[in-house]
Chain A
């Protein structure tokens, strides 16, 4: 299995809803990432998990809450989002960490298209 999967593909939610995005990989990768991508822009890094521990949080608002239950799974819990949070949310994984491997080749999932009403 050489892919990163994400569910759901599309999500529409109200500002008072609570929802979760899921990401899974079975490549034995030890680092996983959440990105947010607005239209016609590059991905913006949100969170990095290395060996199931949160290693980077790019000052993301607390209405986004990541969780890494195990080395294959990464969730992003959403609560009280704003319309400006509407975007494509991408998950990625990499074999290891740059500190150990020297480089950081990331494999991306297809994304979840989120619309906040």
Chain B
């Protein structure tokens, strides 16, 4: 079975500051990892994913995440946030061969001027 832990329910930051949203997972099989973003009153959008290969993955809007197998982590980072990054961020894991996505409880990123 897989599980995901997002310890921070809310992360407040000022605009242009760096941010890190933490995600840890546990699994007994190989994993595939995802970050989804949900803006208010919208569905989930895939932000980035780790399937295999390079452990550092990047999105088109400046976010990056690094898969760390030894620490079972997949933290999301951005060097400089914008007001428009205010949203709920969900980390999710899929075990190899498992149809389900297991979501973390989410982290609300609040960016203020």
Which residues of A does B touch, CB under 8 Å?
4, 6, 31, 40-43, 45, 48, 50, 55-56, 90, 92, 97-99, 102-111, 113
Is B90 in contact with A99, judged by CB distance below 8 angstroms? no
Nearest B residue to A100 via CB reads B97
Our pick among A42, A48, A55 for the contact of B90 (Cβ within 8 Å) is: A42
Complex CA distance for A42 and B43, rounded to whole angstroms: 11
Complex CA distance for A48 and B94, rounded to whole angstroms: 14
Is A104 in contact with B43, judged by CB distance below 8 angstroms? no
Nearest B residue to A90 via CB reads B43
A-B pairs with CB below 8 Å: how many? 68
B96 close to chain A: CB less than 8 A: yes
Complex CA distance for A110 and B45, rounded to whole angstroms: 9
Nearest B residue to A97 via CB reads B99
Task: Find residues 77-109 in chain B having any chain A CB closer than 8 Å to their own CB.
Answer: 88, 90, 94-101, 103-106, 108
In the assembled complex, which residues on chain A have CB atoms less than 8 Å from the CB atom of B105?
Answer: 41-42
Is B94 in contact with A50, judged by CB distance below 8 angstroms? no
Is A110 in contact with B98, judged by CB distance below 8 angstroms? no
Is A104 in contact with B42, judged by CB distance below 8 angstroms? no
B17 to chain A, nearest CB (A): 24
Complex CA distance for A40 and B49, rounded to whole angstroms: 23
Our pick among A48, A55, A99, A111 for the contact of B43 (Cβ within 8 Å) is: A111
In the assembled complex, which residues on chain B have CB atoms less than 8 Å from the CB atom of A99?
Answer: 97, 99
26 cross-chain CB contacts under 8 A: A4-B43, A31-B99, A40-B88, A40-B108, A41-B106, A42-B103, A43-B90, A43-B103, A48-B100, A56-B99, A98-B95, A98-B98, A98-B99, A102-B96, A102-B97, A103-B51, A103-B96, A104-B101, A105-B46, A105-B49, A108-B36, A108-B43, A108-B46, A110-B42, A111-B43, A113-B41
